[in-house]
Amino acid sequence: MTQLFVYGTLLRGLSRAQMLRGSRFLGPALILGQLFDLGSYPGLLAGQGLVVGEIHLVDSSTLQRIDRVEDFDARDPEGSLYRRKAVPARRFSGRGETVETYFYNHPSDAGVLIPHGDYRRYLIERRPGAQPTVAYGSNLSLARIEARIGPVGRRHPGLIEGFRLSLDKRAAIRRNVVANIRYTGADDCPGALHDLSLEQLQAMDRYEGTPNHYLRIVLPFRPNGRSGIRLAHTWIAHPDRVTAGLPVRAEYLSHLRSGYAQFGWPEAPITRALEALQQGNP
């Protein structure tokens, strides 16, 4: 079995995701590099930027099929379109991994740089109109989010599947923690889908301290009462900002509980996050 890091059309919700259907999804992660738009797919080159992707545990037959799709031939690496290499990856929890991924083999032909390194986000931001965006922390409170970025219109509740609400993101100013999500594969984090303007998204980036505190990435979201998933922006703590042993402020917790009450949700996810915080294992 191989831990494969994917960053393009193999990502969940994109055109070739079905090729990984029989594999085990291990969660989102980051690697160092530079991501480029090559037209109908992206290409990865070596670099010091952050590239957002997913780790999947794949068997040898799946890996061989993907090698063919990526035009990688281990017997002729120079003549391949991509080269598969082992690289270090970092989970959003901060844990390090070694993964395999595909590097574009023709750097002189690289297209447009994707500066934030998230291909799904790049695709969504190019669409005209509203940007689907999910809140799961204090911005679930309508008063809180509208004080920050103005009217947000109708909100749709749903789930960030496989993720758990956690209180482990070190706050920007005070020595306390605020909300984050962690991939567990066994939990679903409640969230609310908003349709925001690009200007509102960028304003929220400033409040969330993107990219040094939170990274804005795109994840699948399942709205309640609707079939299928939506790809939507959300904010997840930069691994350098994940911590343990710090308290949560009562004011922040009040915003979070207010948001849950507005949607009529039980507070079980908040209670679990608080229990984990008290045990020093968010």
pLDDT at 51 (0 to 100) = 98
Task: Based on the fold, state whether residues 206 and 169 are members of the same structural domain.
Answer: yes
Nearest Cα neighbor of 140 from 193, 77, 104 is: 193
Residue 73: what pLDDT? Answer: 86
Look up the CATH number of the domain holding residue 50: 3.10.490.10
Task: Return d(Cα 221, Cα 19) in angstroms, integer.
Answer: 20
Q: What is the rounded distance in angstroms from the CA atom of residue 132 to the CA atom of residue 201?
A: 10
Note whether 150 and 106 are same-domain residues. Answer: no
pLDDT at position 282: 62
Neighbouring residues of 41: CB distance < 8 A, sequence distance ≥ 6? 8, 9
Last residue of a domain, one of 73, 102, 120: 120
State residue 279's pLDDT score. 83
How many domains in the chain? 2
pLDDT at 79: 86
Q: Does 106 share its domain with 198? A: no
Domain that holds residue 101: 2-120
**Residues 139, 104 within the same domain:** no
Give the whole-angstrom CA distance, residue 106 versus residue 96.
Answer: 28
**Are 176 and 202 within one domain?**
yes
Kindly state whether residues 202 and 241 are assigned to the same domain.
Answer: yes
N residues, the chain = 282
- Rounded Cα distance between 233 and 218, Å, is 4
Residue 259 and residue 138 in one domain: yes
* Same domain? 136 vs 200: yes
pTM (2 d.p.): 0.93
* Amino acid 78: pLDDT: 85
pLDDT tens per residue, the chain (282 residues)?
Answer: 999 999 999 999 999 999 998 899 999 999 999 999 998 899 999 999 999 999 999 999 999 999 999 999 888 888 899 999 999 999 999 999 999 999 999 887 778 999 999 999 999 999 999 999 999 999 999 999 999 999 999 999 999 999 999 999 998 877 899 999 999 999 999 999 999 999 999 999 999 999 999 999 999 999 997 778 899 999 999 999 999 889 999 999 999 999 999 999 999 999 999 999 888 766
Q: Can you give the pLDDT at residue 180?
A: 97
> Are 71 and 44 in the same domain?
yes
Name, in order, each residue with C-beta under 8 angstroms of 121's C-beta and a sequence gap of 6 or more. 52, 216, 217, 218, 233
Helix (H, G, I), strand (E, B) or coil at 138: helix
> Which of 33, 80, 37 lies closest to 52, judged by CA?
33
Q: Which of 54, 70, 100, 208 is catalytic?
A: 70
Q: Are residues 8 and 100 in the same domain?
A: yes
- Residues 50 and 7 both lie in one domain: yes
The tokens describing 77, both together, are 């690496």
Which of these three, 76, 104, 120, is where a domain ends? 120
Q: 132 and 268 share a domain?
A: yes
The last residue of one of the domains, among 86, 120, 154, is 120
Active site annotation includes 208: no
